[in-house]
Amino acid sequence: MIFFRFSTYTMKYLFFSTNILSWFSQNRRNLPWRETKNPYFIWISEVILQQTRVSQAENYYKRFVLNFPFINELADAPEDEVLKIWQGLGYYTRARNMHKGAKYIVEILNGEFPRTPEQLIKIPGIGSYTAAAIASIAFNYPAAAVDGNIYRVELNPLLRELICHKDIKCK
């Protein structure tokens, strides 16, 4: 018989991850941005979701993708056209920054999306959370996308230990 010895942290992590993944599989919502590995579409969804409820975001996401299905089309579009499609979402700086970021990706990066958070964060309008989200979802890069929702939750010591482990800084 083989016995494995796991650290307390490993056991807590396994317990937590098993439970959270089980909960997610039972409560998962079908959302269009979850059906793609396209970094451009993931970026659009992340920016839209920054100040928008998921229930509202889906229609705006579909409209944006329909009007700008490729990053070069967003980059080439006049700003007023981008803002018109964005209309109703508010916080127009998000649309302007995404437009600038699309131009940067097309003109400077030859239309190629960077694959790591360190590279993505150099794009105008992409911060650390969005960079981690794009890298982890589109490219399976091991990056934790930690946002304000996690900070607002009153974490018990187990969750705090798991979320704030190693290089992840917690307030």
**Max CA distance (Å), the chain:** 69
Supply the residues annotated as catalytic. Answer: 46
The CATH architecture that domain 36-139 belongs to is: Orthogonal Bundle (1.10)
pTM listed for this prediction: 0.79
pLDDT tens, residue order, the chain (171 aa): 566 676 776 777 677 678 777 877 888 888 889 899 999 999 999 999 988 888 899 999 999 999 999 999 999 999 999 999 999 998 899 999 999 999 999 999 999 999 999 999 999 999 999 999 999 999 999 987 777 666 555 455 556 666 555 544 555
Measured between alpha carbons, how far is residue 4 from residues 7, 18, 94, 99 in Å?
10, 18, 49, 52
Q: Where are the domains of the chain?
A: 36-139
For residue 49, give the H/E element and its range: helix 39-49
